Amino acid sequence: MIHFYHVTKRFDRYSTALQDVTFHIEKGEFVFLTGPSGAGKSTLLKLILRQIRPSEGQIVVNGRNLSAMKRSQLPYFRREIGMVFQDFKLIERMTVFENLSFILTVLGLSPKEHKKKAYSALRAVSLHHKLNAYPLQLSGGEQQRVAIARALINDPLMLIADEPTGNLDPDLSKDILQIFADANLRGSTVLLASHDRDLVHRSSRRVIALDHGSIVEEKQAAPEKAAPRSESLFVNW
């Protein structure tokens, strides 16, 4: 699903954000991308979304070589990815509902479908009662959940999140991670960047660790434990 081949990203002669990074994430996987601040996590995510281009190497996402992708194809490619940004990127002048329905307008869905889809996406993050609230009226955690609902609304092939639990308390972090786990169960490939080593190491998911722009460690996912479906998700964290 996501393939990096010897990818290097330099912003100028003196700052190399990523150095010769190669990894492969298969369809349906749940992967943590970890590393300290400045390790290159956000740069890597930006490369996947093709916000920036690599200086060297090739990136293939969902069978498309991003270097060869035409600009006109970019919007359709991005619609396959549900992205949760570190700074949420919610539109402040729009209500929670409008922030979600706006995506559906972009995708060409009828206004009738907007309400139904927005409501169910917000219900998945337990914010269906805040439909008419504005982002600034919400707490950081709630804004984060709206951003996740927006990423999930299109039932994306890939779900990518940049520090989704960055400023949240442990209980809320667990809830947020559960949402990603549910999306993964529904078939989305999940790539989650976090600098929270404890959180990452508590989980049994695959981990790619970055430091100074290079992969320093790769931990494969532990085999799933035999447990009821809902319970196994919880145990896996």
Residues at the site binding other proteins, with contacts judged by CB under 8 A: 49-51, 71-72, 74-80, 83, 85, 89, 91, 102-103, 105-111, 150, 155, 157, 187
Residue closer to other proteins (CB basis): 107 or 235: 107
Please report how many Cα atoms fall inside a 13 Å half-sphere around the Cα of residue 169, on the Cβ side.
3
Closest CB to other proteins among residues 155, 231: 155
Beta-bridge partner residues of 198? none
Shortest spacing between CB 110 and other proteins, in angstroms: 6
Which phi and psi angles does 61 have, rounded to 5°?
-125, 125
- Distance CA(213)–CA(55), nearest Å, equals 13
Contact 146, 97 (CB under 8 A): no
Q: How far is the CB of 28 from other proteins (least distance, A)?
A: 11
When the beta carbons of 145 and 150 are compared against other proteins, the nearer one is: 150
Of 36 and 75, nearer to other proteins (C-beta) is 75
* CB nearer other proteins, residue 134 or residue 237: 134
CB of 225 to other proteins, least distance (A): 27
Q: From the CB of 32, what's the least distance to other proteins, in Å?
A: 22
Nearer Cβ to other proteins (118/209)? 118
Give one DSSP letter per residue of 122-143, joined into a string. Answer: HHHTT-GGGTT--GGGS-HHHH
Which of 40, 59, 63 is closest to 50 using CA atoms? 59
Those residues with Cβ within 8 angstroms of residue 146's Cβ, 6 or more apart along the chain or in another chain: 88, 90, 96, 99, 100, 122, 125, 127, 130, 135, 138
d(C-alpha 182, C-alpha 133), whole Å: 25
Q: Name the minimum Å distance from CB 128 to other proteins.
A: 21
**Both tokens of residue 5?**
């081949």
CB of 113 to other proteins, least distance (A): 10
